[in-house]
Amino acid sequence: MSVTVKRYIPLAITFVMGIIMVIATYFLAEGTPERYATTQLTATVDIIVATAGVIGLVVLLRHHGLNISRRGRFWKYSTITIIGVVLYLIVGLYGIATHEQHLMYASELFSWVYMNIYVHMDMTIFSLLAFFIASAAYRAFRLRSLEATILLIVGTLMLLGRAPVGATLWEGFPTIAEWLLNVPNAAGTRAITIGIAIGAISLAIRQLMGIERGYLGPER
């Protein structure tokens, strides 16, 4: 297949779609049929990306299936992954069979498994960060420079100001924490926000112009 079909047509599609969005925002009034058409276009994106969920599952199954067949590292745990996928898929298919509109995510048993099985694991894995933060606070945060000192002092005042114990120790802590949040933090964050905005705009323009092509995937 020619380079035009493989590379240049996708780049052209990207450019056209992006320009349509910019024109719709700045040149088409709300309530006009043209603006409604662009809203329909964005609504279709929701359906277009739906297949990505299938791709993700297939890639996961392929990775772990290969690991099992080659007796790779932790292949027994890959078995657990695949068993979990199969069992939850069975629950989902049961939901599709019993739901009036054959929905999976909205079926009761599928949601129940998510809220009562998956949620415990998700919450616990993320809660490990609390321990790592405590360890880092003790072993890594050193007052080696003025900048580090400012960082730790502000962080400490924030911790004291945002919990009831701070107000119990001294009534000024919540006020100081609020001032730190509203003034110096807002100043620094606003500068970062403006910088990120400039970067994001330039990256989006580069993508529309076809200079950034990473999203197209590898050349095959």
Partner 1 sequence: MALSISRIDRRYLYLLLFILVSIPFLYPLKLPLTIGVHSRLVYEVTEGLPPGSIVISSVDFGPSTLTENRPHLKAHLFHCKEHELKVVCLAFWISGGPIGDDVLREVYGSDFPNVPQYGTSIVYLGYVPGNEVGMQTFGDNTVLAKGTDHYGTPVGDLPLMQECASAEDFDLWAEWTSGTPGEQQVIQFVQGRHGGPSAVPIVVGSTAVSVPGMMPFYAAGQILGILNGLAGGGEYEQLLIDAYEYPLVEALPLLDSQSVGHLLIIAFVIIGNIGYAISKYGGGEGS
Partner 2 sequence: MIPPNVGQIPPELGLFATIFGVFATIFIYSFLWKENPLSRAVEHLFIGLAAVFTLGAMYDAALTQAYWGTDRIIEGNFMWIIPILISLMYFFFFSKKYFFLYRYPVSIVAGIMAGMMICGQIQSNFLVQIQSTVTLPLVGEGVWEGWPPPGLDSIIIIIGIITALSFFFFTWEHKGALGISTKIGRYFLMATFGAAYGGTVMARLSLFIGRLTFLYQTSYEDWFWAWYLIPIAVICVIIVALWERSKPTPTPPTPETKPTRKGKSE
| Contacts with partner 1, residue ranges (CB under 8 A) | 25, 30, 35-36, 39-40, 42-43, 45-47, 49-50, 99-101, 103, 105-106, 111, 114-115, 118-119, 122-123, 125-126, 130-131, 133-135, 137-139, 141-143, 152, 156, 159-160, 162-168, 171, 174, 178, 181-182, 185-186, 189-190, 193
143 binds, among partner 2, partner 1, none (CB under 5 to 8 A by kind): partner 1
CA distance 20 to 40: 12
170 binds, among partner 2, partner 1, none (CB under 5 to 8 A by kind): none
Question: Which member of 27, 29, 48, 142 binds partner 2 (CB under 8 A)?
Answer: 48
Q: Is the dihedral of CA 87, 89, 90, 96 positive or negative?
A: positive
Q: Cα angle at 179 between 174 and 181, to 5 degrees? A: 95
User: Rule CB under 8 A: is residue 154 a binding residue for partner 2?
Assistant: yes
Quick one: 66 or 191, whose CB is closer to partner 2?
191
85 binds, among partner 1, partner 2, none (CB under 5 to 8 A by kind): partner 2
Structural tokens at position 68: 């099992």
CA distance 46 to 149: 47
User: Rule CB under 8 A: is residue 155 a binding residue for partner 2?
Assistant: yes
User: Rule CB under 8 A: is residue 168 a binding residue for partner 2?
Assistant: no
Question: Which member of 66, 143, 151, 165 binds partner 2 (CB under 8 A)?
Answer: 151
Structural tokens at position 168: 């119990």
Q: Cα angle at 114 between 113 and 115, to 5 degrees? A: 95
Contacts of the segment 4-13: beta carbons below 8 A, 24+ positions apart: 7/213, 7/216, 10/216, 11/210, 11/213, 11/216
Contact 14, 207 (CB under 8 A): yes
CA distance 140 to 134: 10
Question: Which member of 72, 165, 193, 211 binds partner 2 (CB under 8 A)?
Answer: 193
User: Rule CB under 8 A: is residue 128 a binding residue for partner 2?
Assistant: yes
- Shortest distance in whole angstroms from residue 206 CB to partner 1: 19
